[in-house]
């Protein structure tokens, strides 16, 4: 699999087939460029060719390959990325003719996922996707040799090597599936534990590079490290957010969304989003300074729809406002999406987002009046730790408390409920 190393110099290439419009191809290449950059490469040029169909051997026509070679030499490129999937044969032939490493969009996205995967489950999922990408390619190579007529060169050690490669890959795939099963069971346990603790869950979703992780870090600064110990084994991408005088919630980060996700990755991607199911509220983080904002948002929305999360309460966080110029269209964006403008980098607007999250979580809470006897310190602590105390007065008969608690946490204090 072609890993993209830092500052590789990449040439982007695409075919324009008769059914494709020019702008579609250009937009797709723009995105490929951004993906290449986020994988750490520098884009040094792009080439397109109009053709009826790809050529089986080189994908592009012979003349175009010569042109690609000339540009790659001129730009000192050491990597070519094709916007569409290449067959292993095309990949190998192109690499040979151009004298550079050649990869396609799928390999690039797999590479980005491999760099970004943070959880054990995510890492396993990406490896699984990489292996499934590899497997048919091994088969493909074999079929190609067979098609050339079998015979010399297709029997003996060659075949044995290929067979054993395939066996190894299949074996590893099986092993990963087993490990994934175990990781999932473990995660389900953690999830159940969180649920029984009654702390609501807020999940950050958004297009890749929107700023989710930066926002997570901003919302859960070092001051919360101690509180995190309460949930010791929380996933590294889930943290507890506490503010004095406010009910705590768990904030989880998710892997960024990408358009035209290679099919090998769709299952892996959805599996890593499984935990969104436990989220009470979603925060859709958007890069408000990005020209392709609308497309990115609708890509995220349609995926959320596929995951049956279309109706989950969602707050739009218009991030990176520090990059917007004075008099930009921010006001219009805020109106259109009823969004909260903020900058995860500077911290501007973050407090307002927290308030909105809290409001969104509140429909699930009930406001009650309690009279707690002094001897029951546990019930009092329960209110402070799990709920939001609105008022308190210490009287001779006990503590009068006005508190907001989620319905599932009412049982513990039900005995002290008073009507006003």
Q: For residues 102 and 114, which CB has a smaller minimum distance to ligand GTP in the complex?
A: 114
User: How far is the C-alpha of 187 from the C-alpha of 179, rounded, in Å?
Assistant: 12
Q: For residues 256 and 406, which CB has a smaller minimum distance to ligand GTP in the complex?
A: 256
- Please report how close the Cβ of residue 260 comes to ligand GTP at its closest, in angstroms: 15
Helix axis angle, 88-98 relative to 120-147, nearest 10°? 80
- Strand, coil or helix: 49: strand
CA distances to 179, 181, 205, 272 from 120, rounded to whole Å, are 10, 12, 19, 10
Q: For residues 234 and 350, which CB has a smaller minimum distance to ligand GTP in the complex?
A: 350
CA distances to 211, 220, 245, 350, 390 from 217, rounded to whole Å, are 10, 5, 21, 12, 28
- Please report how close the Cβ of residue 304 comes to ligand GTP at its closest, in angstroms: 15
- Please report how close the Cβ of residue 217 comes to ligand GTP at its closest, in angstroms: 8
Please list, in sequence order, all residues whose beta carbon lies within 8 angstroms of the beta carbon of residue 392, skipping any fewer than 6 positions away: 399, 400, 401, 402
* Six token digits for residue 190: 């953690």
Handedness of CA 35, 37, 42, 43 (dihedral sign): positive
Handedness of CA 395, 398, 399, 401 (dihedral sign): negative
Q: For residues 200 and 256, which CB has a smaller minimum distance to ligand GTP in the complex?
A: 256
Q: For residues 107 and 258, which CB has a smaller minimum distance to ligand GTP in the complex?
A: 258
DSSP 322-343: GGSPTT-THHHHHHHHT-EE--
User: How far is the C-alpha of 104 from the C-alpha of 86, rounded, in Å?
Assistant: 6
Question: How many helices (H) and strands (E) are present in the chain, helices listed first?
Answer: 13, 14
- Please report how close the Cβ of residue 211 comes to ligand GTP at its closest, in angstroms: 3
DSSP 191-244: HHHHHHHT--EEEEEEBTTSSHHHHHHHHS-GGGHHHHGGGTT--TTEEEE--T
CA distances to 86, 98, 131 from 93, rounded to whole Å, are 11, 9, 22
Q: For residues 119 and 319, which CB has a smaller minimum distance to ligand GTP in the complex?
A: 319
- Indicate the residue whose CB is closest to ligand GTP: 256
- Please report how close the Cβ of residue 346 comes to ligand GTP at its closest, in angstroms: 7
Q: For residues 213 and 242, which CB has a smaller minimum distance to ligand GTP in the complex?
A: 213
CA atoms within 13 A on the CB side of 144: 15
Question: What is the end-to-end Cα distance of the chain in Å, rounded?
Answer: 68
- Please report how close the Cβ of residue 364 comes to ligand GTP at its closest, in angstroms: 27
- Please report how close the Cβ of residue 218 comes to ligand GTP at its closest, in angstroms: 8
Q: For residues 5 and 323, which CB has a smaller minimum distance to ligand GTP in the complex?
A: 323
Q: For residues 106 and 208, which CB has a smaller minimum distance to ligand GTP in the complex?
A: 208
Applying CB under 6 A, the residues found at the interface with ligand GTP are 116, 206, 208-214, 256, 319-320, 322-323, 343-345
Asked if 257 contacts 300 with a C-beta cutoff of 8 angstroms, the reply is yes
- Please report how close the Cβ of residue 230 comes to ligand GTP at its closest, in angstroms: 25
User: How far is the C-alpha of 417 from the C-alpha of 415, rounded, in Å?
Assistant: 6
- Please report how close the Cβ of residue 289 comes to ligand GTP at its closest, in angstroms: 7
User: How far is the C-alpha of 59 from the C-alpha of 325, rounded, in Å?
Assistant: 43
Q: For residues 199 and 344, which CB has a smaller minimum distance to ligand GTP in the complex?
A: 344
- Please report how close the Cβ of residue 393 comes to ligand GTP at its closest, in angstroms: 43
Dihedral in degrees, nearest 10, Cα atoms 274, 278, 283, 285: -20
* Six token digits for residue 162: 């290929």
- Please report how close the Cβ of residue 371 comes to ligand GTP at its closest, in angstroms: 46
Q: For residues 77 and 215, which CB has a smaller minimum distance to ligand GTP in the complex?
A: 215
């Amino acid at each position: 699999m072609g890993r993209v190393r830092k500052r590789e110099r990449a040439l982007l290439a695409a075919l324009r087939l008769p059914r494709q419009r020019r702008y579609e191809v250009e937009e797709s290449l723009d995105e490929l460029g951004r993906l290449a950059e986020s994988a750490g490469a520098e884009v040094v040029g792009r080439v397109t060719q109009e053709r009826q169909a790809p050529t089986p051997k080189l994908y592009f026509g012979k003349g175009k390959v010569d042109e690609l070679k000339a540009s790659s030499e001129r730009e000192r490129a050491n990597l070519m990325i094709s916007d569409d999937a290449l067959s292993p044969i095309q990949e190998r032939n192109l690499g040979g003719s151009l004298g550079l490493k050649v990869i396609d969009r799928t390999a690039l996205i797999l590479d980005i996922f491999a760099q970004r995967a943070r959880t054990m489950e995510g890492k396993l999922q990406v490896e699984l996707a990489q292996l499934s990408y590899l497997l048919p390619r091994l088969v493909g190579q074999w079929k190609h040799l067979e098609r050339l007529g079998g015979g010399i060169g297709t029997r003996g050690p060659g075949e044995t090597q290929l067979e054993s490669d395939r066996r190894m890959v299949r074996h590893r795939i099986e092993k990963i599936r087993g490990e994934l099963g175990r990781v999932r069971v473990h995660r389900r346990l953690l999830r159940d534990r969180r649920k029984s603790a009654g702390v609501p869950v807020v999940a950050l979703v958004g297009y890749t590079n929107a700023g989710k992780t930066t926002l997570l870090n901003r919302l859960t600064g070092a001051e919360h490290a101690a509180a995190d110990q309460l949930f010791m084994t929380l996933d590294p991408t889930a943290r507890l957010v506490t503010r004095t005088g406010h009910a705590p919630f768990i904030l989880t980060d998710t892997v960024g969304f990408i358009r035209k996700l290679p099919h090998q990755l769709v299952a892996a991607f959805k599996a890593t989003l499984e935990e969104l199911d436990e989220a009470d509220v979603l925060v859709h983080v958007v890069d408000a300074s990005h020209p392709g904002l609308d497309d990115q948002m609708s890509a995220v929305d349609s995926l959320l729809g596929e995951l049956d999360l279309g109706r989950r309460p969602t707050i739009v966080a218009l991030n990176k406002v520090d990059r917007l110029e004075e008099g930009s269209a921010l006001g219009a964006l805020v109106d259109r999406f009823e969004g909260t403008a903020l900058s995860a980098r500077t911290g501007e607007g973050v407090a307002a987002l927290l308030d909105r999250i809290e409001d969104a979580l509140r429909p699930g809470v009930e406001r009650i009046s309690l009279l707690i006897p002094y001897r029951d310190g546990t019930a009092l602590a329960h209110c402070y730790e799990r709920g939001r105390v609105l008022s308190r007065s210490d009287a001779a008969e006990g503590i009068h408390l006005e508190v907001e608690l989620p319905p599932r946490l009412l049982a513990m204090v039900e005995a002290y409920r008073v009507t006003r």
